[in-house]
Amino acid sequence: MPKEDQVPVPKFDMDSAYAYVAAQVAFGPRVMNTPAHDAAGEWLIGRLEEFGATVERQTFTATAYDGTALKSMNIIGRFNPEMEDRILLAAHWDTRHVADSPLETSPTAVVNGADDGASGVGVLLEIARQLGKSAPHIGVDIVLFDAEDYGDTGGGNTNSWGLGAQYYSNNISGIRPRYGVLLDMVGARDAEFAMEQYSLRFAPDVVRKVWKLAADMGFPHYFPKRNGGGITDDHYFVNTIAKIPMIDIINHRPENKTSFVAHWHTGEDNMDKIDKRTLRAVGQVITALVYREGNGTI
């Protein structure tokens, strides 16, 4: 049922989102147990508080696949915290500790994570800024997961990934969101967000809703209606542990042997790989999703 007092969908500012991506990258790689990581985390909390969110620091020590104790923190920013009907929007704010892509040739390369991590967080910060200026008729939990990317590439140890999402899913406090949207690697030029397999399995209605919205809004080339592979990303754990239906919007490149963009987990994941138009396509679609859910028009 449409509400009588509709809140207009705000315009997503791609320059603002781009600046939030650049600000994260300027801290250097955001790997757990490093000062750059902790400083970036405080900066992210400051932005969410500035935009009016009620912020929870969910701190925990995760044990990595190699036994390393990872000092970690999920950052949860709640808008309209008292509302029962809520949507979860998430991205990971940590970066990969090693440039171990098979496409990387330099032994000294580090992952700056402009795309892999910072792009999704940058889009969510811009959405948070809009939420602070004009409140939708719905609750929004923006969750910045830590410890997503310290996983074991060799072998089948899929549970070594998404440690922050696993912790979140086992420790949900407050009102449970109705469904979730994860953004991962949403900044590259000509990105293609194919329909990811776990998203289709666990949250088919959300996939249909978002891909239709994207097509209606003029972004069908970013959101092709083809099936992507299954990716053990943060949403997998939210789906299987918390049982909250959650989709993953992630750049799928079947032409590369990694099935991701060429700069994934290499020293090339820098600001020159970020295209504002991609940030805008994703950001404007998800902004519309949130406000229209609140208005009862989707």
Residues lying near Zn ion in the complex (CB under 5 A) are found at 96, 116, 149
For Zn ion, give the closer residue by CB, 116 or 146.
Answer: 116
For Zn ion, give the closer residue by CB, 101 or 284.
Answer: 101
Least CB distance from residue 85 to Zn ion, whole Å? Answer: 32
One-letter identity of residue 107:
P
Least CB distance from residue 116 to Zn ion, whole Å? Answer: 4
Rounded CA gap, 208 and 235, in Å?
Answer: 17
Least CB distance from residue 43 to Zn ion, whole Å? Answer: 20
- What the block records as the tokens of 79 is 């808008």
Phi, psi at 227, each rounded to 5°? -80, 135
For Zn ion, give the closer residue by CB, 248 or 293.
Answer: 248
**Residue 64 burial class via C-beta count within 10 angstroms: exposed 0-12, middle 13-18, buried 19 and up:** middle
Least CB distance from residue 6 to Zn ion, whole Å? Answer: 38
Least CB distance from residue 148 to Zn ion, whole Å? Answer: 7
| 236-260 residues labelled b (16+ CB within 10 A) or e (exposed) | bbbbebbebbbbbbbbbbeeeeebb
Least CB distance from residue 145 to Zn ion, whole Å? Answer: 12
For Zn ion, give the closer residue by CB, 116 or 248.
Answer: 116
Least CB distance from residue 38 to Zn ion, whole Å? Answer: 20
- Strand-pairing partners, residue 182, are 90, 248
Residue 46 near residue 111, CB atoms below 8 Å: no
Give residue for tokens 């900066």. 43
- Nearest of 143, 152, 140, 128 to residue 66 by alpha carbon: 152
**Residue 152 burial class via C-beta count within 10 angstroms: exposed 0-12, middle 13-18, buried 19 and up:** middle
For Zn ion, give the closer residue by CB, 138 or 261.
Answer: 261
Rounded CA gap, 108 and 128, in Å?
Answer: 36
217 DSSP assignment: T
For Zn ion, give the closer residue by CB, 151 or 177.
Answer: 151
For Zn ion, give the closer residue by CB, 96 or 292.
Answer: 96
Rounded CA gap, 42 and 40, in Å?
Answer: 5
